[in-house]
């Protein structure tokens, strides 16, 4: 990312030199220099937004996996077998582990701390607790640290 910014800065500097050579008046040069400085400031302000988008993109496969699992559970319905139920719980456990792993690799530690609170509020897997914990953890990522759960 820094290389792209540096490349763009060099491009604008080169553009500035070319325009400087062709400039008719001092005001043209001043306008160009001002525009280059403004563009550089805009690029610097864009960096955090680009970083956030990249971080969010890491969660897309996890959320898609959870959506697919939810669809399987809905199709199985209330008549699902015990082995299907246990398989769904194992699959949810893997998805939750991926979510925890992704949160740990992010630059900020706040979601992981919040995840611990969710795990304490929704222990175990029975009665939908695994899904409630998963949803709580997604909330940690989306809005930052929260009290989580039923408190």
In this structure, is residue 13 part of a structural domain?
Answer: yes
Radius of gyration of the chain (CA): 25
Among 21-30, 45-54, 88-97, 113-122, the range scoring the smallest mean pLDDT is 21-30
Among 36-45, 79-88, 97-106, 107-116, the range scoring the smallest mean pLDDT is 107-116
In this structure, is residue 151 part of a structural domain?
Answer: no
The reply to whether 79 and 121 lie within a common domain is: yes
Give the total number of structural domains in the chain. Answer: 2
Q: Domain limits at 98?
A: 59-143
pLDDT > 50? residue 115: yes
Q: Do the beta carbons of residue 36 and residue 20 sit within 8 Å?
A: no
pLDDT of residue 64: 93
Domain final position from 40, 56, 72: 56
Segment 8-17, tens digit of pLDDT? 555 555 555 5
In this structure, is residue 149 part of a structural domain?
Answer: no
pLDDT of residue 38: 80
In this structure, is residue 150 part of a structural domain?
Answer: no
pLDDT > 90? residue 83: yes
The answer to pTM > 0.75 is no
The reply to whether 106 and 119 lie within a common domain is: yes
The reply to whether 40 and 84 lie within a common domain is: no
The reply to whether 52 and 63 lie within a common domain is: no
- Here the tokens at position 8 are 């763009």
């Amino acid at each position: 990312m820094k290389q792209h910014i540096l490349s763009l800065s060099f491009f604008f500097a080169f553009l500035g030199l070319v325009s400087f050579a062709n400039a008719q008046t001092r005001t043209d040069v001043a306008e160009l220099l001002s525009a280059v400085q403004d563009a550089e400031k805009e690029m610097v302000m864009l960096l955090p937004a680009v970083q956030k988008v990249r971080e969010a993109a890491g969660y897309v496969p996890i959320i898609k996996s959870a959506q697919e699992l939810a669809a399987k559970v809905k199709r199985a319905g209330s008549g699902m077998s015990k082995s299907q139920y246990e398989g769904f719980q194992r699959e949810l456990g893997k998805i939750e582990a991926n979510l925890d792993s992704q949160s740990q690799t992010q630059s900020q530690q706040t979601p992981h701390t919040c995840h611990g609170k969710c795990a304490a509020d929704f222990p175990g897997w029975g009665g939908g607790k695994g899904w409630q914990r998963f949803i709580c953890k997604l909330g940690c990522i989306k809005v930052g640290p929260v009290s989580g759960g039923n408190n």
